[in-house]
């Protein structure tokens, strides 16, 4: 049987992996000892040069199905790992068939939920973790994607200005549908509640999570926050015809939540006395797109919002409100952001993403300023943060950024 590799943007080095050996027997020559989420399949993370991939053994049918589905999710801009390829026709040295393999690109600076708790996450951070899972689920449902196996284990988390952003990592049970029914949405939420409950109990059993945490109360947040966010994004609102300003207010409120509204359905009654509005096309990333347009930076939406706030403070401090905003943004980038990030020594650049480091420096400045009784210089803050906070953090990147 001939080895067959179907790949998106193929990396020639993939051919050099030991495909005639069962995945569970791969050695440190290729495998990176990084934390992995729980999976019903054998999964290994491998390094090929500067690239890192997750490799999962499964059936040929499921491998191709998930590969195509992940590519579809990528095309429509949903947060999921990037499918790299499928390997079939594997046989061992005795000619026995081996499972097919799905390759996905490892998401830089991401961690499974168990590793987050091993890296110091506490029960106080659980609501933020649940919020990230809920935002992911709502985004998938808005795109008519049925997940089928909602859980913390099927997600990778990236830090985002003190919170988290969640990415789908296992789409094996998923399905993109022409239209997602309310029943299927409800099923996803119910499955998510059940799975998260079990995962929290597992954390407590392994003494990774405080045994005093009431898992059922945390799980209730999944449904509560899902229903609240879904209503915010899709709910119908009715008001008098003389209150048309409420349309803009609704859009601004969704922008504050980080969502852009590309289309809105407006209906008036027969006499034109009442107006009904309902958002029709809603997408997360409002602040992310705004910052990218001003600076070219591509960061998580929460990080973008924090950086935009610092840009606004820079604008006000230097009285640049009347200047072209893009020119002001470039000045902030070259005078503040880039010099501060350049202060991070090479050996510490794998600990956090640059935008997350900048966010933590802003938080650190507030703490130092409160202690000192006056505002501490941002560059003095950065030196103190790098020496006393960042140095003690574990690495979260698989490989250090290229110089």
The pLDDT value recorded for residue 397 is 65
Q: What is the pTM (predicted TM-score) of this model?
A: 0.84
CB atoms within 10 A of CB 279: 22
- Angstrom distances, CA of residue 53 to CA of 32, 99, 205, 399: 10, 18, 31, 12
CA pair distance 303, 361, nearest whole angstrom:
12
CA pair distance 294, 354, nearest whole angstrom:
17
Residue 97 domain flag: yes
Helix (H) or strand (E) holding 194: helix 182-205
Residue 401 domain flag: no
Answer yes or no: are the C-beta atoms of 62 and 171 closer than 8 Å: no
CA pair distance 114, 99, nearest whole angstrom:
27
261 and 339 in a single domain? The answer is no
Strand pairing partners for 44? 55
Q: Pick from 115, 149, 117, 109: which is nearest to 133 by CA?
A: 149
**Range list of H helices, 93-181:** 113-118, 126-142
CA pair distance 35, 396, nearest whole angstrom:
10
CA pair distance 318, 112, nearest whole angstrom:
42
CATH of the domain at 63: 3.30.200
Residue 400 domain flag: no
The pLDDT value recorded for residue 109 is 85
CATH of the domain at 216: 1.10.510.10
Residue 15 domain flag: yes
193 and 94 in a single domain? The answer is no
Answer yes or no: are the C-beta atoms of 173 and 114 closer than 8 Å: no
Q: Could you tell me how many residues make up the chain?
A: 403
- Integer Rg of the chain from CA: 24
Indicate the SS3 state at residue 323. Answer: coil
Domain region containing 242:
237-284
The pLDDT value recorded for residue 367 is 93
The pLDDT value recorded for residue 125 is 85
119 and 222 in a single domain? The answer is yes
295 and 223 in a single domain? The answer is no
Q: Pick from 231, 227, 230, 233: which is nearest to 256 by CA?
A: 233
Residue 397 domain flag: no
The pLDDT value recorded for residue 188 is 97
**Dihedral sign of CA atoms 23, 27, 29, 31 in order:** positive
Annotate 61-88 with DSSP letters as a single string. Answer: HHHHHHHHHHHHHHHTT-SBPPEEEEEE
Inter-residue long-range contacts of 247-253, CB under 8 Å, 24+ positions, other chains counted: 247/275, 247/277, 250/277, 250/279
Residue 403 domain flag: no
CA pair distance 375, 381, nearest whole angstrom:
10
Residue 392 in tokens: 């003690």
Answer yes or no: are the C-beta atoms of 151 and 199 closer than 8 Å: yes
Residue ending a domain, choose from 71, 86, 106: 106
DSSP state of 29: T
Indicate the SS3 state at residue 167. Answer: strand
CA pair distance 150, 219, nearest whole angstrom:
13
DSSP state of 112: -
Question: Structural domain tally of the chain?
Answer: 4
Walk along the chain (403 residues) in steps of 10 and give the mean pLDDT of each run: 80 88 88 66 86 91 95 92 93 90 90 84 86 94 94 92 91 92 96 94 86 84 93 86 81 86 80 78 87 92 92 91 91 96 91 93 93 92 94 69 40
Spacing of C-alpha 36 from chain mean position: 16
205 and 124 in a single domain? The answer is yes
């Amino acid at each position: 049987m001939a080895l067959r590799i179907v790949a998106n943007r193929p990396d020639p080095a993939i051919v050099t992996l030991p495909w005639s050996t069962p995945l569970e027997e791969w050695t440190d020559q290729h495998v990176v000892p990084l934390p992995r989420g729980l999976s019903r399949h054998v999964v290994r993370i491998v390094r090929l040069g500067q690239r890192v991939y997750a490799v999962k053994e499964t059936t040929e049918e499921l491998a191709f199905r998930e590969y195509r589905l992940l590519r579809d999710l990528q095309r429509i801009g949903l947060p999921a790992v990037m499918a790299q390829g499928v390997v079939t026709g594997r046989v061992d040295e005795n000619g026995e068939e081996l499972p097919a393999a799905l390759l996905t690109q490892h998401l830089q600076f991401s961690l499974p939920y168990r590793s987050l708790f091993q890296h110091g996450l506490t029960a106080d951070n659980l609501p933020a973790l649940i919020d990230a899972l809920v935002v992911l689920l709502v985004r998938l449902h808005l795109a008519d994607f049925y997940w089928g196996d909602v859980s913390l284990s099927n997600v990778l988390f990236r830090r985002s200005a003190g919170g988290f952003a969640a990415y789908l990592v296992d789409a094996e049970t998923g399905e993109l549908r022409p239209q997602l029914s309310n029943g299927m949405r409800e099923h996803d939420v119910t499955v998510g509640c059940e799975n998260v409950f079990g995962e929290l109990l597992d954390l407590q059993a392994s003494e990774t999570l405080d045994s005093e945490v009431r898992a059922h109360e945390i799980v209730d947040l999944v449904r509560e926050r899902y229903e609240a966010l879904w209503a915010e994004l899709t709910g119908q609102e009715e008001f008098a015809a003389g209150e048309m300003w409420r349309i803009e207010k609704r859009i601004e409120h969704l922008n504050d939540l980080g969502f852009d509204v590309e289309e809105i359905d407006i209906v008036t009654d027969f006499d034109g006395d009442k107006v009904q509005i309902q958002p029709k096309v809603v997408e997360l990333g409002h602040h992310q797109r705004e910052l990218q347009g001003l600076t070219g930076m591509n960061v998580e939406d929460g990080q973008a919002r924090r950086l935009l706030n610092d840009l606004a403070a820079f604008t006000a401090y230097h009285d640049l409100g009347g200047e072209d905003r893009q020119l002001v943004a470039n000045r902030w980038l070259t005078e503040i952001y880039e010099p501060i990030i350049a202060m991070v020594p090479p050996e510490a650049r794998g600990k956090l993403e640059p935008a997350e480091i900048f966010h933590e420096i802003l938080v650190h400045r507030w703490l130092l300023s409160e202690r000192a009784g006056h505002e501490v210089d941002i560059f003095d803050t950065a030196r103190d943060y790098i020496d006393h906070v960042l140095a003690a953090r574990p690495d979260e990147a698989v490989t250090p950024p290229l110089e």
